[in-house]
Structures are given as C-alpha cells and as structure tokens.
Amino acid sequence: MSQEESNQQSVPSTQKSNADEKQEQEALEKYKELYQYSTDILLKEHDRFNRADDKASKYATMFFFLIGAVAYYDKWIFDRLNWSNPCVIVFFYLPLIAAGLLALLLSGNTGATDDFQAG
C-alpha cells in the first residue's frame, strides 16, 4: 500500500506543478507583451523627438539666415543714404526693424507644433 500512496501523492503533485508551470507561462507571456508594448511606445516617442529636433534645427538655420540678410540690407541701406538728420534715421529705421522682425516671426510660425498635437 505504501507504493499506491506514493503514486497517489505523485499524481497530484505533478498536476500541481503543471498548473504552476502554466501560470508561470501565462505570467511570462503577459510580461513579454507588456515589455514589447512599452518598447514600441518608447521607439515612437524617440522618433517623434527626432522629427521635432530636425524641424527645430531647420527653423533655427532659416531664422539666423534671415537675420543675417536683414542686417546686411539694413547696413547697405544706411551706408547708401547717408542721412545727416537723426530724426529721419529714427523714423525710417524703426519701421525697417519692425518689418524685419515681423517677417522673421511670421516665417518661424508655420506649424512648428504639429508633432506635439498628436502626442
């Protein structure tokens, strides 16, 4: 009878270990899926950041190029006109500066936040 008792005890323990293994496999599959999901989200965020960074560098390059062009033409205008009256310089120079800054501001506001709206 001792042999039958040991056989009866081994059968439930085998079933129990199979159930434990099944639960472990289910838990492992669940964590694999969660890991894959979080990795996909991380890669998407990294790509979105790279696109935003590329866009920012393009806008910065355009911004500094336009500042240089405005400064060059402003200097050329003032060198060519040779005004002697300071009031004329102030009244003519302020609208030129305002027009240049307005053009720069409007050129940089062409949808730079498109990547951040979809989130």
pLDDT surpasses 90 at 4? no
The reply to whether the predicted model has a pTM over 0.85 is no
Neighbour count for residue 69 (Cβ, 10 Å): 13
Where does the pLDDT of residue 20 fall: very low under 50, low under 70, confident under 90, or very high at 90 and above? Answer: confident
pLDDT surpasses 90 at 48? yes
Mean pLDDT of 48-54: 93
Mean pLDDT of 45-60: 92
Phi, psi of 110 (to 5 degrees): -115, 40
Q: Which of 70, 65, 63, 67 is nearest to 112 (CA)?
A: 63
Chain-centre distance of CA 87, in angstroms? 48
Cα–Cα distance, 63 to 97 (Å, whole number) = 15
- pLDDT (0 to 100) of residue 5: 52
Side chain identity at residue 15, one-letter code: Q
Note the pLDDT tens digit of each residue in 77-113: 777 776 666 666 667 777 777 887 787 777 766 555 5
Buried b (16+ CB within 10 A) or exposed e, 7-42: eeeeeeeeeeeeeeeeeeeeeeeeeeeeeeeeeeee
Q: Taking all residues of the chain, what is their mean pLDDT, rounded to a whole number?
A: 77
- pLDDT (0 to 100) of residue 119: 45
Mean pLDDT of 56-73: 86
Rounded to the nearest 10°, the torsion over CA 16, 21, 26, 31 is: 130
- pLDDT (0 to 100) of residue 54: 92
